[in-house]
């Protein structure tokens, strides 16, 4: 399907009007989390993006280690990638999808899975912010099993 058709189909499923703006972006909110979708025709991809906010001060090494472990073979991200913006320092979750391999139903399922992972990592980053520096948080224990989303 064309990216614009995927977005329209998703909007119909969510009962909201969605379309790409002049920059090829589209956004919506789910449970207080903003999901932005980018149309990147130059690489034939639709990219899902979720902002996880500022990393916690003083706990970067542990958080970044957890993120790298989760990125390894996508075992804690369901095919998405965690990263830190060099411009803003914020942490983000991204997933690139090929629109030619998607229909409305599979795209909606991918977005749902992405939102579930975004929710998990929002909680993990929030926990790093809230915990004292001597409290251990092991986000590396996240895993995917057949038919499951992430578990902590």
pLDDT surpasses 50 at 149: no
The least confident of 9-23, 47-61, 131-145 is 131-145
d(CA 147, CA 109): 12
- Where does the pLDDT of residue 128 fall: very low under 50, low under 70, confident under 90, or very high at 90 and above? confident
- Three-class SS of residue 150? coil
For residues 74 and 80, the answer to whether their CB atoms sit within 8 Å is: yes
Structural domains in the chain, CATH included, are 3-141 (3.30.1460.10)
């Amino acid at each position: 399907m064309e990216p614009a058709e995927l977005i329209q189909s998703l909007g119909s499923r969510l009962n909201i009007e969605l379309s790409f703006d002049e920059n090829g972006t589209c956004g919506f909110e789910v449970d207080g989390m903003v999901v932005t979708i980018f149309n990147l025709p130059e690489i034939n991809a639709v990219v899902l993006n979720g902002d996880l906010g500022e990393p916690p001060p003083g706990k970067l090494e542990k958080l970044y280690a957890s993120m790298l472990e989760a990125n390894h073979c996508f075992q804690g991200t369901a095919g998405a990638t965690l990263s830190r913006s060099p411009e803003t320092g914020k942490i983000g979750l991204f997933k690139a999808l090929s629109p030619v391999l998607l229909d409305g139903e599979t795209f909606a399922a991918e977005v749902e899975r992405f939102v579930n992972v975004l929710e998990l990592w929002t909680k993990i980053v929030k926990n790093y912010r809230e915990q004292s520096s001597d409290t251990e948080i092991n986000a590396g224990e996240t895993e995917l099993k057949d038919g499951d989303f992430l578990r902590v």
